[in-house]
Amino acid sequence: MSREDTIAAIERFTDFDIDEDDDLAIAREVVASFEDIRRDPAAHQRAVRFLCACVKRYVWTWKSLGCESDSPVASVDAVQHWLDSGEFMDGFDRLCWPVAPVRNGEPVVDCDEPALSDLSNASSRLAYFCVTRSSTDAAAILVSLFWADAEGLQPQDGEGFFDWLIATGVPIAWSNEKSG
């Protein structure tokens, strides 16, 4: 597998049809392009670098939209620490579970709720994926981010979801850097 295989899988992911296709199956092809994430530590790190960078693009919106918990941001920071050091931080396990978006002490129930819930799911699943190495967990991160983007969360860079995956995400995944 190679960068080109990852790009080809992302291009198939862009053909995603919400009425007919299985979102997870399509996203799982992207994950499979990183090679054997279960057995190969380098493949697992490649996938984590890619997915961590993807979540980082959106996690800023959690605080900008007034959410009170720091859990999604803390999940990304903890995963970054794991990528950089190979060690899990104390309390890592608590970051593997999504939190409900809360604003001013009340659950978010307006139009921001679906996207914020998807972001919370993606960030917690990212931490969980570091432990499980499951292609389903990794694919669920991509699907959650796709839907968060489709529901209105915008990255600070303003680049389209799939364009960014190919132009920036793939080079991050296939780099030899520890940091994502």
Could you give the C-alpha distances from 167 to 13, 65, 146, in angstroms and in order?
Answer: 15, 27, 16
Classify residue 179: in a domain, yes or no: no
46 assigned to some structural domain: yes
- What confidence category does residue 16 fall into, taking pLDDT thresholds of 50, 70 and 90? low
Do 125 and 141 form a contact (C-beta atoms < 8 A)? yes
Confidence at residue 179, expressed as pLDDT on a 0 to 100 scale: 42
Min mean pLDDT across 85-89, 100-104, 105-109, 174-178 is at 174-178
Total-model pTM: 0.92
Tokens of 139: 């694919």
Residue 95 has pLDDT above 60, yes or no: yes
What tokens were used for 64? 């900008």
pLDDT value at residue 80: 96
Is 178 domain-assigned? no
Q: Is the pLDDT of residue 2 over 50?
A: yes
Number of domains in the chain: 1
What is the distance between the alpha carbons of residues 68 and 63, in angstroms, rounded to a whole number? Answer: 7
- Which residue, chain included where needed, has tokens 């917690």? 124
Does 104 fall in a domain? yes
Residue 78's domain comprises 3-173
Segments in the chain forming alpha helices (H):
3-13, 23-32, 41-64, 71-85, 113-132, 135-150, 161-164, 170-173
Percent of the chain predicted with pLDDT > 70: 92
| Predicted confidence (pLDDT) per residue in 28-77, tens digit | 999 999 999 999 999 999 999 999 999 999 999 999 999 999 999 999 99
Q: Is it the case that residue 13 has pLDDT exceeding 50?
A: yes
Contacts of 85 (CB under 8 A, 6+ apart): none
Burial of 168 (0-12, 13-18, 19+ CB in 10 A): middle
pLDDT in tens, 113-125: 999 999 999 999 9
3-state SS track over 23-67: HHHHHHHHHHCCCCCCCCHHHHHHHHHHHHHHHHHHHHHHHHCCC
